[in-house]
Amino acid sequence: MNCDLYRSEMYAWRPGSDEKSFQPLFDHLGSCAECARLFEQLTSSDQQIRRTFQSYPESPSLESRILSGLAHQRAQAATGRSSWRLWMLAPVMASLLVVLFVGVTPQLQRAKLNREIAALLSKPPTLQINTTDRKQLLEWSAKQLEGPPALPADLDKVEFRGAAIVSVETHKAVLLKMKNEQRASLVIVDARLTQDNRFHSMQEGSGSASLWSDGGRSYVLLFNGSEQELHAYMTRMGITA
């Protein structure tokens, strides 16, 4: 190997390099004064270059600028996460609203119905037709309502003495006063106020009531007495819908 190649190899060497790999170079430096001089100059020059590299401007505000930029990034990310969470919550909120609507609306309707029933119990309307003729009363009632002049079979035993037009939850309705029980009256409503055909008892301030439906119409049995008295009356009359 000639000096030129050894001098090229000098540039691959650095302090801490694997000495074995550079042993041929060091052997040559031991026998070539010119190359040894160049190597010494190279090493010295390298040290000077290193020192020069360490000389560069200060940037006193750089650290605070980076930290402030990072804080901004984090704030933006937090905002993004909040928006994302809001979007994720939107279906939940919508579901809650639906549940509230579905759950609360019937409650509100029922409260309104109760108030109207209470009003009918405390202030019964003036009868517009006074007769005990069941057929005549039912035909009169059928004219005010939509549907046939008939009652469910479980009301067959009940006799009436008069009727009046009323309104329940904005639906057309007729109130029939019972003949043999002054405290009782029947409201026939031209709408379905309950989803099933079971009795729904209500205790209002001046009496009790029982609501049921036959699918098309709803019936409210009003009674100026306790709930027990109402049930006793219903049993007596065979009202077991």
Q: Exactly one of 20, 50, 123, 135 binds other proteins (CB under 8 A); which one?
A: 50
Q: How far is CA 34 from CA 44, 70, 99, 111, 134, in A?
A: 15, 56, 95, 112, 139
Rounded Cα distance, 181 and 224, in Å: 10
Is residue 32 at the binding interface for other proteins, with CB under 8 A as the rule?
A: no
Q: Any contact of residue 31 with other proteins (CB under 8 A)?
A: no
Considering only 26, 27, 30, 74, the residue that binds other proteins (CB under 8 A) is 74
d(Cα 75, Cα 125) in Å, to the nearest integer?
Answer: 68
**Residue 102 found at the interface with other proteins (CB under 8 A):** no
Annotate each residue in 147-186 with x if it binds other proteins (CB under 8 A) or - if it does not, as one string: ----------------------------------------
Q: Is 237 helix (H, G, I), strand (E, B) or coil?
A: helix
| CA–CA distances in Å: residue 183 to residues 90, 104, 132, 208 | 53, 33, 16, 10
Smallest separation, CB 89 to other proteins (Å): 26
# of chain residues touching other proteins (CB under 8 A)? 34
Rounded-to-integer distance, Cα 191 and Cα 169, Å: 9
Minimum distance from CB of 1 to other proteins (Å)?
Answer: 13
Instruction: State the amino acid at position 102 in one-letter form.
Output: V
Distance of closest approach, residue 36 Cβ to other proteins, in angstroms: 11
Residue 70 sits in the site that holds other proteins (CB under 8 A): yes
Distance in Å, CB of 30 to other proteins, minimum: 18
**57 makes contact with other proteins (CB under 8 A):** yes
Give 176's strand partners: 163, 186
State the nearest-atom distance from the C-beta of 83 to other proteins, in Å: 18
